[in-house]
Structure 1
Amino acid sequence: MKKSKINFTLYTLIAFLFLGNLSISYAQNKSVSYSEREQAQYNYSYSLGVQAVVYGWAPVMMDVAKVLQTSVDQPMNNGQAPINEFGPITRLWDYRDRSYTTPNNDTFYLQGWCDLEEQPIVIFVPEIKNRYWIMQIVDMYTESVVDLCNATIGEEGGYFVLAKKGYTGDLPENVPVYYSSTRYIWLAGRLGVENEKDLKIARDLQKQFRMMPLNQYPNGGVQPEPKNIEGAPKVEFPAGLDWFKRLDQVLAENPMPEDVELVDSFKHIGIGEGSIDGLNEVQKEALKAAFNDGFQIILDAAKNSNTAVNGWNWEFNAGIYGTDYLSRAAINMNSIGLNSPERAMYPKRYVDDQGIQLNGENTYEITLPAHIPVRTEVGGFWSVTMYDAKDRFMVENEIDRYKIGSMTEGLKRNDDGSVTIIISNKKPKNKKMRANWLPAPADDFMLQFRLYEPEEVIYKGEYELPQLYKIEK
């Protein structure tokens, strides 16, 4: 499987909009009579607006998640917690949870948002053996800061310092230090849960993680008992001019020096000037159109990005994007803060073997081999999860099954050890097939495979998942 990636940079986008697609901006304004100067102003603001949407999609998503998840005065059992505190999610997420797209149904989450402006943060990781876990840490642009897990630090755990680049104060001796480019960072912890019997053991481990400001090291950060609350809060994502205002705020709080030339160009549309409300009506209309078209560009990339093999789309550059802003936007539209390939791979698909959108009115099957190359010695495992195609959240179903994976109990295997999964909205008539049934919504859906701690053959693009076929009911 040959790897490729989106290299449709913002500079390519400029050329595309100005040289090949000016008709878009003109077409959207046939009902408006603009002077020659106003039309030129509209076109330039529109072009900058589309660039800003592509560049800023990921950091705005992160900021929306940060505000949503930290707007409480104590930790909640749905993952919310104040800044610089852990929020434990004490059950496997399902259709009720809509804080961010494509959450998993495989692990407990333990998440937190840190503010590194005043001083570094120290986290403590307990000893964890024979279990998948990761503390994934990303900056506000979803660039990887570090992944702490058994594969990178071993089973013993310990203390780890997180600091903002440029910090010059004293740090504890013999404690690893990791630096972020941005003031705010997201700690997305995951702890594998094998079955119902394993829930209590996993919760006890989850409670042992601690987060503390440097001045409370080494004894701070004991997790208080979280407040019980039903379900995760629903995200409200800004649109139109409100989205550009949010971007202006996020860039001011989390500037990236290496992007200064590009970001400075956005001053023409009020970003960096704090003056979006002061733009004229022509510019405002251009930005509204730019948001809509920028969204469609990112959505198309999200559905078709990177390498497609047997209908599965693979992402090989998550967590390290550089100037590939469209890949960053597309990957985060699908799954915010996607893990680096060495830690997990997330091939997804929207279509069947004929390239037709998956829909629950049909019946599909896929036969997975007996062995899928994940590193079980460090807790690796696999799963495939069902999501609604439009919003990419899990869907309620009659048997409360949202995924099938290597830890799913009761699966029926074929004689050669392979597993045939049946996917449909209606329960299979054949009782033997029901053990391997993954329920689908009645409408369009997508599937996301998860390969936790994949072997090298996977993240180097040398492994193929089998095709998924539409079959007769």
Structure 2
Amino acid sequence: MTSKASPSSASGAGTLADLAADAYVYGYPLVFDVSMISAFMHKGFGSLPPTPFNQFGHAAKLATPDAHFVSVNNDTVYSIAQVDLSADPVLLHVPDTAGAYYVLQFVDVWSNNFAYLGKRATGTEEGDWLIVPPGWSGTAPDTVRGLIEAPTAVISVVGRNACDGPEDMPRVRALQQRLTLTPLDAATHRAGLPAPNPSVPEELRFYERLRVWMADFPPSGPDQDRQERFQPLGLLEEGPSPYVKADAVLVEALTEGLAAGKARVEAASNPPDDNGRPPGAWVANPHLFDYNLDHLGIGTIDAPQWKIADREESYLVRAAAARAALWGNHGYEAVYAHTFTDSDGEQLNGSRSYTLRFEQPPPVASFWSVTMYDTPDYYLVANPADRYSLGDRTPGLVYDEDGSLTVVIQRERPDNPAEAANWLPAPEGDFRPMIRLYTPMQSVLDGTYQLPPIVARG
């Protein structure tokens, strides 16, 4: 579709700025997601090497602080692939994990989770699956277990194999080598992603990326109808970029809208504690990833309770999820809970020592963990113990006589041996820990189970 950016048709920069802010919220997940795809293909993530389309990049170890990815987990070993379906379908082979937890999560470039394979969704046996592009009408081989219908021509497959520490890596590495992608035909696949115009001024590059990638990766039909309103911003223009020599009114509106949109996404990613939660309560939202309303395939739950009813609301939720936990799972696969404050409502900070006491283990069918992240980037925290998370699979934990577990959170290693065994290292400054509950029980999903607060010592 072609269109013409016409700032004079709107009632001034204020109206355009509001529209630009809406466009930022709407388009942030696409821009961030495609940027991460590009970064993965050219630089890799931590121990995951740079990897071209239609190949898995495998981590050789659990994630460490050199994996500069928001809220990366330290419980599982990643196998990630960027899949190009522009030429033909791709055959995915999954090995038998002999009952061990794993999940393959399928994410389109708008950050929608649209399918899952794994222990919860499809079991752990070996099999082949055919990943097909939008609108595909071919015939699948008889040998495949099923079709995975992709909403966009490029998708990410985010694989996680549970790993019980360095000694468990040989088992995981063997599984990784048997996880493969094979194009169904010999057609030529794209070598890279569509490139925005490098001549666009820095302050307008977000909108240039959004314009180019929105055209190459159209969203669902209802979303396409809604993005028509961004026509006055130039976001629907094809061909040469309208932002190289943009009208001054449009530049002002886009600049103001960018700032306002960022503020909205940041506020949604870290909402104020104004809903009656007690101080230090963990924020657990099993429905953070319910913004996919249109493409729910194998392994997903296509039901009203797992969909955001208001489409406009879903855009802000989607942006907040991308900002704080890109490529996170639906709540029925895993629930993530975080907190910024202790039981007194004070910001968590490495200048103090804290405890986190579990009277009973969190109710999960698989396993749970608590991982340390810095702020504001939400990266893993480097520490001399090389311990970035702690959970029910951590060897050597010391439980109390009543079966409870007290985690010690502080910067320095505790002198007491029992506390040192249960120590989760903290950074010098502010931090935000996250608890992950894999295959959570219903009490987690309905909120009847409450995680204990972190308590400051002394």
Question: Please, what TM-score do these two structures have when normalized by structure 2?
Answer: 0.84
Deviation at 1:461, TM superposition (A): 2.7
Render the CA deviation track for 1:265-324: whole Å, top value 9, x for unaligned: 212111111412342123212212221221121111111289867521112224430421
Cα distance change of structure 1 residues 239 and 104 upon mapping to structure 2, 3 Å threshold:
farther
Quote the residue 1:456 is aligned against: 442
Quote the residue 1:269 is aligned against: 233
Report the 3-state secondary structure (helix = DSSP H, G, I; strand = E; otherwise coil) of the residue aligned with 2:33: helix
Quote the residue 2:16 is aligned against: 45
Q: Is 1:201 matched up with 2:158? A: no
Large movers: runs of 4+ above 3 Å: 37-40, 74-77, 305-310
Q: Which amino acid aligns with 2:323?
A: M
CA distance in 2, matches of 1:395, 1:470: 20
Aligned length: 410
Q: Is 1:366 matched up with 2:336? A: no
Given the alignment, which residue of 247, 257, 262 partners 2:210?
247
CA distance in 2, matches of 1:148, 1:179: 13
CA RMSD of aligned residues (A): 2.4
Question: Is contact 2:47-2:67 (8 Å) kept?
Answer: no
Question: Is contact 2:286-2:336 (8 Å) kept?
Answer: no
Given the alignment, which residue of 104, 118, 137 partners 1:135?
104
Cα distance change of structure 1 residues 167 and 38 upon mapping to structure 2, 3 Å threshold:
closer
Cα distance change of structure 1 residues 76 and 432 upon mapping to structure 2, 3 Å threshold:
closer
Given the alignment, which residue of 51, 54, 64 partners 2:35?
64
Deviation at 1:191, TM superposition (A): 0.6
User: After the TM superposition, which of the residue ranges 461-470 and 397-406 deviates more from structure 2?
Assistant: 461-470
Point out where structure 1 has 5 or more consecutive residues left out of the alignment. 1-36, 217-237
Q: Which amino acid aligns with 1:300?
A: A
Match runs of 1:325-404 below 5 Å? 325-375=315-365, 380-404=366-390
Quote the residue 1:312 is aligned against: 282
Quote the residue 1:86 is aligned against: 56
Deviation at 1:149, TM superposition (A): 0.5
Quote the residue 1:442 is aligned against: 428
Quote the residue 1:416 is aligned against: 402
Structure 1 vs Structure 2: percent identity of aligned residues?
29
CA distance in 1, matches of 2:15, 2:262: 18
Question: Is contact 2:106-2:113 (8 Å) kept?
Answer: yes
CA distance in 2, matches of 1:39, 1:206: 54
Render the CA deviation track for 1:317-348: whole Å, top value 9, x for unaligned: 24430421111111111110110111111111
Report the 3-state secondary structure (helix = DSSP H, G, I; strand = E; otherwise coil) of the residue aligned with 1:91: coil
Question: Is contact 1:142-1:319 (8 Å) kept?
Answer: no
Report the 3-state secondary structure (helix = DSSP H, G, I; strand = E; otherwise coil) of the residue aligned with 1:134: strand
CA distance in 2, matches of 1:305, 1:156: 44
CA distance in 2, matches of 1:86, 1:339: 19
User: After the TM superposition, which of the residue ranges 309-318 and 394-403 deviates more from structure 2?
Assistant: 309-318
Quote the residue 2:418 is aligned against: 432
Flag the structure with higher helix content: 1
Match runs of 1:213-292 below 5 Å? 213-215=183-185, 240-256=203-219, 257-273=221-237, 274-292=241-259
Given the alignment, which residue of 267, 286, 294 partners 1:300?
267
Point out where structure 2 has 5 or more consecutive residues left out of the alignment. 1-7, 187-200, 294-310
Q: Which amino acid aligns with 2:380?
A: M
Quote the residue 1:224 is aligned against: none
Deviation at 1:39, TM superposition (A): 10
Q: Which amino acid aligns with 1:270?
A: G
Question: Please, what TM-score do these two structures have when normalized by structure 1?
Answer: 0.82
Q: Which amino acid aligns with 2:260?
A: D
